[in-house]
Amino acid sequence: MSEHSLDAATGAPWVALLGNPNCGKTALFNLLTGSRQKIANYAGVTVERKEGRLVHVQNPVRVLDLPGVYSLKARTPDEAVTCEYILGLLPDEPRPALVVVVVDATQLARQLRLLIQIRALGYRVVVALNMLDAAQARGIHIDLDAMSAALGVPVVASCGIRGDGAVALTAAIEALVGNVSDPTGRTPVARTAEPIFPTTEAAQHEVDALLRRLGLVSLPEDTWSERLDAIVLHPWLGPLVLAVILFLIFQAVFSWAQPVMTMIAGVVSIAGEICIHWLPEGMFRSLLVDGVLAGTGTVLVFLPQIVILFAFILLLEDSGYLPRAAFLLDRLMGGVGLSGRSFIPLLSSFACAIPGVMATRTIPNPRDRLVTILIAPLMTCSARLPVYALLIGAFVRPRSVGLGIGLQGLCLFVLYAAGVVSAFLVAWTLKRFRRIDALQSLQMELPSYHWPSLRNLVIGLRQRVEIFLSRVGSIILALMVLMWFLSSYPVPPPYFTGPPIEWSVAGRIGLALAHLFAPLGFNWQISVALVPGLAAREVAVGALGTVYALGAEGHDVSARLATLIQGSWSLPTALSLLAWYVFAPQCLSTLAVVRRETNSWSVPAVMAGYQFALAYLAAWMTYHVALRVVGAA
Amino acid sequence: MVAVSSLTDQPTAAVSGSRRVRTLASLPIGRAAIVASDPPSDDTPRSAEVRARLAEIGVLEGQSVKVIAAAPFGGPLAVKIGSGTFALRRAEASVVWVYSEATDE
DSSP letter (8 states) at residue B26: G
Residues of chain B in contact with residue A331, where contact means CB-CB under 8 angstroms, are: 71-76
- The CA distance from A340 to the nearest CA of chain B, in Å, is 9
Contacting A residues, span 90-109, partner chain B, CB-CB under 8 Å: 106-109
- Nearest beta carbon to residue B56 from set A71, A323, A326: A71
Check pLDDT > 90 for residue B78.
Answer: yes
**Could you report the per-residue pLDDT of B28-57, keeping only the tens digit for each?**
998 899 998 766 666 788 888 888 889 988
> To 10 degrees, what angle do helices B45-56 and A200-213 make?
30
Mutate to test the interface with B, among A441, A445, A448, A449 (most CBs of B within 10 A): A441
The reply to whether A435 touches chain B by the CB within 8 Å rule is no
Give residue ranges of B with CB < 8 Å to any A CB.
2-7, 46-47, 50, 53-58, 60-61, 63, 68-76, 78, 81-89, 91-92, 95
Classify residue B76: in a domain, yes or no: yes
- Is A436–B78 a contact, with Cβ atoms under 8 angstroms apart? no
Count of H-run helices and E-run strands, chain A: 28, 7
- Nearest beta carbon to residue A70 from set B56, B68, B95: B56
- The CA distance from A226 to the nearest CA of chain B, in Å, is 8
Asked if A440 and A339 touch (Cβ cutoff 8 Å), the reply is yes
Q: pLDDT below 70 — which residues of chain A?
A: 1-10, 161, 163, 179-194, 551-559, 585-586, 631-633
Classify residue B10: in a domain, yes or no: no
What is the domain range of residue B72?
Answer: 15-100
Residues of chain A in contact with residue B88, where contact means CB-CB under 8 angstroms, are: 441-443
Query: Which parts of A147-303 are beta strand (E)?
Result: 155-157
**What number of CA atoms fall less than 13 Å from residue B8's CA on the CB side?**
5
Classify residue B4: in a domain, yes or no: no
Can you tell me the distance from the alpha carbon of A512 to that of A220, in angstroms, rounded to the nearest whole number?
A: 71
- Is B56–A200 a contact, with Cβ atoms under 8 angstroms apart? yes
Q: What is the pLDDT of residue A185?
A: 45
The reply to whether A442 touches chain B by the CB within 8 Å rule is yes
Can you tell me the distance from the alpha carbon of A54 to that of A385, in angstroms, rounded to the nearest whole number?
A: 39
Q: What is the pLDDT of residue B42?
A: 66
Size of interface A-B (CB pairs under 8 A): 131
- Nearest beta carbon to residue B84 from set A201, A235, A445: A445
Classify residue B35: in a domain, yes or no: yes
Ramachandran region, residue A446 (left: φ > 0; alpha: ψ -120 to 50; beta: rest): beta
Classify residue B9: in a domain, yes or no: no
Can you tell me the distance from the alpha carbon of A621 to that of A412, in angstroms, rounded to the nearest whole number?
A: 19
The answer, yes or no, to whether ipTM is higher than 0.95 is no
Q: What is the CATH number for B95? A: 2.30.30.90
Query: Which parts of A384-537 are beta strand (E)?
Result: 444-445
What would the 3-class secondary structure string for A271-322 be? HHHHHHHHCCCCHHHHHHHHHHHHHHHHHHCCHHHHHHHHHHHHHHHHHCCH
Contacts of A381 (CB under 8 A, 6+ apart): A349, A350, A351, A352, A353, A537, A587
Query: What DSSP element (H or E) covers B23?
Result: strand B19-23
- The domain total for chain B is 1
- Nearest beta carbon to residue A340 from set B61, B69, B76: B76
Can you tell me the distance from the alpha carbon of A155 to that of A5, in angstroms, rounded to the nearest whole number?
A: 29
Q: What is the pLDDT of residue B4?
A: 42
Q: What is the pLDDT of residue A617?
A: 95
Can you tell me the distance from the alpha carbon of A91 to that of A187, in angstroms, rounded to the nearest whole number?
A: 11
Classify residue B88: in a domain, yes or no: yes
- Nearest beta carbon to residue A442 from set B68, B83, B92: B92
Q: Which residue of A has its CA nearest to B48?
A: A439
Classify residue B2: in a domain, yes or no: no
- What is the CA A371 to chain-centroid distance, rounded? 18
Asked if A165 and A158 touch (Cβ cutoff 8 Å), the reply is yes
Start-to-end C-alpha separation, chain A: 58
Classify residue B67: in a domain, yes or no: yes
Residue type, A565: I
